Amino acid sequence: MAQETYDKILDVCKRRGIVYPSFEIYGGLGGFIDYGPVGSRIKQNVEDLLRRHYVVGDGCFEVQCPTMSPEEIWVASGHVKGFADLLVECKKCSEGYRADKLLSEVGVEAEGKPAEEVGRLIREKGVACPSCKGTLSEPYTYNLMFGTTVGTGSKRKTAYMRPETAQTTYLAFRRLWEFARRRLAFVVIQIGRSFRNEISPRQGMIRLREFSQAEIQYFLDPENKAAPRFPEVSGRRVKLTDKNGKLWETTIGEAHRQGIIPLEFIAYQLGKAMAVFEDMGVDGGRLQLRQHREDERAFYSSDTWDVEYVSDVFGRIELVGIADRSGYDLGQHMKASREDMQVSLDGRKFLPHVIEVAYGIDRPIYCVLESSLVEDGERSYFRFPKRTAPYLAGVFSLVKKDGIDAKAEEVFALLRDGGLYVFVDHAGSIGKRYARADEIGVPYSITIDYDTIKDGTVTVRERDQKSQSRVAIADLKSRLTC
Amino acid sequence: MAQETYDKILDVCKRRGIVYPSFEIYGGLGGFIDYGPVGSRIKQNVEDLLRRHYVVGDGCFEVQCPTMSPEEIWVASGHVKGFADLLVECKKCSEGYRADKLLSEVGVEAEGKPAEEVGRLIREKGVACPSCKGTLSEPYTYNLMFGTTVGTGSKRKTAYMRPETAQTTYLAFRRLWEFARRRLAFVVIQIGRSFRNEISPRQGMIRLREFSQAEIQYFLDPENKAAPRFPEVSGRRVKLTDKNGKLWETTIGEAHRQGIIPLEFIAYQLGKAMAVFEDMGVDGGRLQLRQHREDERAFYSSDTWDVEYVSDVFGRIELVGIADRSGYDLGQHMKASREDMQVSLDGRKFLPHVIEVAYGIDRPIYCVLESSLVEDGERSYFRFPKRTAPYLAGVFSLVKKDGIDAKAEEVFALLRDGGLYVFVDHAGSIGKRYARADEIGVPYSITIDYDTIKDGTVTVRERDQKSQSRVAIADLKSRLTC
C-alpha cells in the first residue's frame, strides 16, 4: 500500500517535471534532487506562502547569507565538535552505515550513546553488514558537514557548507539590531540551501544532502516571551506526544494551560505552523506535535517541539522544529569573536533570547504531494490548492482552426500579461488536455470555442467542483484569482 | 570621485540593511556578502522581474538543481581541466596573485598564455609581490572550483560546488525534452547560487566567491535560430565593441544587417537584456555591448557577446553573457555518460544547439544602486523604480496620539493584507521619516493626519515628483500599484 502510493507519486513526479533524482545520466547520487519546471513553480509558491505569512504578515526581516562559511563559525556554534553521527563501515565491502540506524533495526535504541557502548552493542547483537553480511568496523565519529578550502597558499582557510541557515543569521545580529532601531522583539527569516553529508540517504525528498530551509529567528527579551496573538490559534485541536512519550488529544490552549507546552510563545508558533501547512495543502488531519525528550534536546534549550506529518510512505516526518535556544548561540559567537552581542534596553544589559522556527521546504512539498494525491480508478493526479498549484489555469482551444486557436493564444497572452502563471495547450482531445492539467493539479481549465468568437465568453471548468460555467473574457482574471 | 561615490553607496548599504560583508564579527572573508532586510527585498524583486520577463513572458521552464555535484559532470564539461587561473605566490609572505592581473598592471596582456611564457614575462618585467616586494614563484594552474567529498568510506566521491548553473540544467535534457513534448525551441531558466574560488577578491559585489546567477538556456534546432520578435528591439541604439576592438554606434538592427552581430537570435537577446536591465533601474545610457575576441571565446562557440555597464567605480562590468554554445555541452555529456542526447525531429536526428543568456544577479543589483544614487546636498539616497524598490510605501502617523497612530496601523494592515510590501513608522519628525524612506528608495510615503479620521483620506507623497495629493483609503491600493 505505502509502496504503491509512493510509486504513483514518483511516476507523476518524474513524467510531469515535478521532482526527479539529480545527475541521473551519470547514475545518480543519493540525497540530491532536481526540481523540474512544475516542481520549481510549486517550490516557489511554498516559499512565497511562507513570505506572505512571516514577512508580509508578521514583519519578519528577510536576509540572505552565504552557504559557504569559515570554520570559526562552526567551531563557535559547536558543529565542528558535535554535529556528527557514529558510523560503522563494513570490513568486506566498505559500505558505511549509521550505527544507531543498524541497531534500531534490531530493536535497540542507541541514539546519543557513546561510541564504545554502541560498538559493544553491535558485537553483542551480532549486527553484520546488511548488504554483504561482512563484519563491521568499530564505530567512529563522522562529521556531517561538507568541508572545503577557500583561497590559496598561506591565506587559505578551511570552510564548511552550512548545515543550517541559523548561525549565518546570528552573525549579523548587531546590524539587525540597529536595523530594528534597537528594539525587541524582532524577527529574521532566511530561506535558502543547507547541506548535510548524510551517510546513505535513501528516502527521496525526505533526507537530502542538499536541501532548502526557511529558518525564522525570533530575538526576544528573556523577560518577555509572551505571544499576544495566541488566542488566534489556541482553539486548534491537536494530537501531541510529550517529552515522556505520553500521548494527548487536546487543544493547543489547553496544552499550554496544563503546562504540557509551558511557553505561550512556542504554543503560538506550533499552532501557527500547523495553519501554514494546511494553507500549503498539507492534510491537517495528519499533523501531530512532538516534544523532544530530555536526552534528545540540546543542553541549552529549555524546550523543543516538532510539527510532524504522518506519512503513508515514510511514517512520521519532522516538518518544522521550534526551539527555545536561549541566549546560547549569541553567547557562543560573542565568546569566539569578542564582539559584544548584548543589548541595552530599559536600563538592563543582556543577551537576547532566540526562539527558532525552523521549516524544511522539501519535506512539506513532499507532504503536499502525498496529501493532494487523488486515485481515481486508473488515474492518479494531484489536487493542489490554488496557492500551491504550479499553474492557475490551462487555456485550451476546442479545435485548431477557424481562428479558435488564435483566440486561445490571445486569451492566454491576456492572462499571462496580467502576471498569472497559465499555459496554453492545443494538442490532443479536450479530455486528454483536461487530464494532463489535472495530473499536475491545475485548478482551472479554460476552453475557447465558437461561442467565444461570437460573444467573448469562455468555458471555465473548476477541477474540484467539476462544474463548468461561461465567463466573459474581461472578467476572467478576477474570476480566477478571487 | 569614484571612491567618493562608492563610499556613499557602501555607507547607505551598511547602515540601512542592503548589503554588507559576511562574517564581519570574525574579521570577514573576501568574496562573500550578506543581503540584509532591504537588500533581500531588492534581490527578490530583481529575480521576480527576470521571471516576469522570461518565465511568464517567454514561457521559460524554470528548474532548480543542486549546487553540489559529482566530479564526472565537471570532467565532461571541461571545468576540471580548464576552469583555472595561473597563480603566483610570494616566496616571502605567501600571498597569492593571479599572474595575468599582475602583468596587466605593468601593461602586459597575458590572459590565456601558457604558464612558461607567463613565468618568463614576470621575470623579464621584474614583477615582485605587490605587498612585500618578495620574489614570486613560478606560475601554476589553480582550479577555481571548490572541491569537497560526498559520502564516506569506499563509496565517497569527489564533488564540486558548481561554478555555473548551466551544466546542471543540461544534465536533465532528456526529461526537459519530454516535458516540452519533443518540440524545439524550448527554453529553461535556472536561478541560484554558484561558486568560484577567486584568488583574492577585492571588489565588493562585483567579484564574489559565492554569487547568484540566472542562466537561461535556449535549446534550438541548429537549422532554425531565427528570432521572430527581433523587430521589438531592433530599433534600439547601442554602443558596441566588436571582436577586433572596433567601436560602433548604431542600432541593433543595423548591427545585425551589417554582420557585426551575425546571428539574429543573439542580436534579439542583447536588445532584450538591455530592456530588462533598464526595467530593473539600471541606467540604460551606461550599457554597452562587447563581442568576445577570437582568442578569448571558447573554441566551440561561434559567437559570444556581453552586455556591460560602465561603472563610475569599477569601470566596465559584465552583466550578462550571451553565447552560442552549439551542441558542445550536450555532446560532451553524451560522450561521458553514454546517454543519447540527440533528438529526432522532422526526419532528422541531431544534437540541439544551445544559446545561453547568462545573467549575474549581484552585479546588476550593484548597478541599480549606482544608477539610482542621488546626491542631494548633504543627503545621499536611492531613487529605485517601483518594481525594484524594497518597499512600495511607508505609512506614517502625523502625531502619536488622538487615534492617529492607531489609524496608521490600520491603513498599514490593510495594505499589508492586500499583499503589498509596506512598513509603518511612528518615530521622529515627519521630515526625518520621509528622509529615512527616501534613503532606501521607497517610492510612496503615506501620511495619516486628523483629516484621515474625519473623511477617510490620506496624503500620498510621491518621491520622484515630490508632489502630494489626498487619496481615499479605499483607492489607496490601486493608486500605489497602477
- Section A52-65 average pLDDT: 92
80-119 of A, contacting B, C-beta below 8 A: 87, 89, 93-96
What lies within 8 Å, CB to CB, of B327 at 6+ separation is: B222, B350, B351, B352, B353, B354
Computed over every residue of chain A, the mean pLDDT equals: 93
Q: What is the pLDDT of residues A215-269, one digit of tens each?
A: 999 999 999 999 999 999 999 999 999 999 999 999 999 999 999 999 999 999 9
**B152, B181, B419 ranked by CB distance to A427: nearest:** B181
Containing H/E element for A336? helix A328-337
Residue A85 pLDDT grade (very low, low, confident, very high; cuts 50, 70, 90):
confident
Q: How confident is the model at residue A473 (pLDDT cuts 50, 70, 90)?
A: very high
What percent of chain A is helix, strand and coil (3-state, nearest 5)? 35, 30, 35
Closest CA to B341 of A25, A19, A20: A25
Tell me how many degrees the CA angle A386-A392-A398 measures, rounded to the nearest 5.
135
Q: Is B274 helix (H, G, I), strand (E, B) or coil?
A: helix
Which residue is closest to B97 within chain A, CA to CA? A152
Chain B interface, best mutation among A148, A189, A420, by max B CB count within 10 A: A148
* Residue A403 near residue A453, CB atoms below 8 Å: yes
- B248-255: long-range contacts, CB 8 A cutoff, minimum separation 24: none
Interface test with B, best of A23, A174, A395 (most B CBs within 10 A): A23
Summarize pLDDT for A137-179 with one digit per residue, the tens: 999 888 999 999 999 877 789 999 999 999 999 999 999 999 9
Quickly tell me which residue has 510563545 as its cell: A265
pLDDT band, very low/low/confident/very high, at A1 (cuts 50, 70, 90):
low
For residue range A387-399, what is the model confidence (pLDDT) as tens digits? Answer: 999 999 999 999 9
Q: To 5 degrees, how large is the angle CA B257–CA B258–CA B263?
A: 60
**Separation CA B342–CA A48 (nearest Å):** 37
Full-model pTM: 0.94
Instruction: Give the per-residue pLDDT at B367.
Output: 97
Q: Quickly state the pLDDT bin for A111 (edges 50, 70, 90).
A: confident
For B354-409, what is each residue's pLDDT tens digit? 999 999 999 999 999 999 999 888 788 899 999 999 999 999 999 999 999 999 99
Is B35 at the interface with chain A, CB within 8 A?
Answer: yes
Determine whether the interchain pair B52/A146 forms a contact, defined as Cβ–Cβ distance below 8 Å: no
Say whether residue B191 is in contact with chain A using an 8 A CB cutoff.
Answer: no
Confidence of residue A379 (pLDDT cuts 50, 70, 90): confident
Q: Give the distance from residue B27's alpha carbon to the nearest chain A alpha carbon, in angstroms.
A: 8
Residues in chain B predicted with pLDDT less than 70, given as ranges, are 1
CA distance A68 to chain B (A): 8
pLDDT at A359 > cutoff 70: yes
Average pLDDT over residues A193-199: 94
> Do A151 and B197 lie within an 8 Å CB cutoff?
yes
Residue written as cell 490548492?
A385
Interface residue of B16, B23, B193 to substitute, partner A, most A CBs within 10 Å? B23
Choose between A56 and A327: higher pLDDT.
A327
Q: Tens digits of per-residue pLDDT, A4-18? A: 888 889 989 999 999
In the block, residue with C-alpha cell 548524510:
A198
Task: Classify residue A414 by burial, with Cβ atoms within 10 Å: 0-12, 13-18, 19+.
Answer: middle
Question: Which A residues in the span 424-443 are in contact with B, Cβ-Cβ below 8 Å?
Answer: 427
Query: What b/e string do you get for B86-116 counting C-beta neighbours within 10 Å, with b at 16 or more?
Result: bbbbbeeebbbbbbbbbbeeeebebbebeee
Q: How many CB pairs under 8 A join A and B?
A: 246
Of B70, B175, B210, Cβ closest to residue A36: B175
**Confidence band for A464, pLDDT divided at 50, 70 and 90:** confident
Residue A398 C-alpha, separation from nearest chain B C-alpha, in angstroms? 20
Restricting to B residues 285-344, those with a Cβ less than 8 Å away from any Cβ of A are 333, 336-337, 339
A151: which chain B residues are within 8 Å (Cβ-Cβ)? Answer: 30, 96, 197, 199-200
> Across the interface, do A65 and B22 touch by the CB < 8 Å criterion?
yes
Q: From CA B186, how far away is CA B177, in angstroms rounded?
A: 8
Residues whose CB falls within 8 Å of the CB of residue A395, separated by 6 or more in sequence, listed in order:
A408, A411, A412, A415, A422, A423, A424, A425, A446, A448
Neighboring chain B residues of A59 at a CB cutoff of 8 Å: 423
Distance, CA of B446 to CA of B429 (rounded, Å):
14
pLDDT on residue B389: 96
Chain A hits for B420, CB-CB cut-off 8 Å, are 56
Q: Is the CB of residue B153 less than 8 Å from the CB of residue A157?
A: no
Amino acid at A199: I
Helix, strand, coil percentages (3-state) for chain B, rounded to 5, are 35, 30, 35
Q: Which one-letter amino acid corresponds to residue B147?
A: G
A284-288 long-range Cβ contacts below 8 angstroms, 24+ apart: A286/A310, A286/A311, A286/A367, A286/A371, A287/A238, A287/A319, A288/A238, A288/A239, A288/A240, A288/A241, A288/A316
Angle, in degrees to the nearest 10, between helices B37-51 and B362-372: 110
- Taken in order B48, B53, B176, A16, the sign of the CA dihedral is positive
**What's the pLDDT tens digit per position in A200-226?**
787 788 999 999 999 999 999 999 999
Residues with Cβ within 8 Å of residue A251, at least 6 apart in sequence: A234, A235, A236, A237, A238
Q: Which residue of B has its CA nearest to A68?
A: B210
A385 touches chain B (CB under 8 A): no
User: Between A67, A68, A94, which is nearest B153 by CB?
Assistant: A94
The whole-number pLDDT of residue B170 equals 98
- Give A421-436 pLDDT, tens digit per residue: 999 999 889 989 998 9
Share of chain B above pLDDT 90, in %: 76
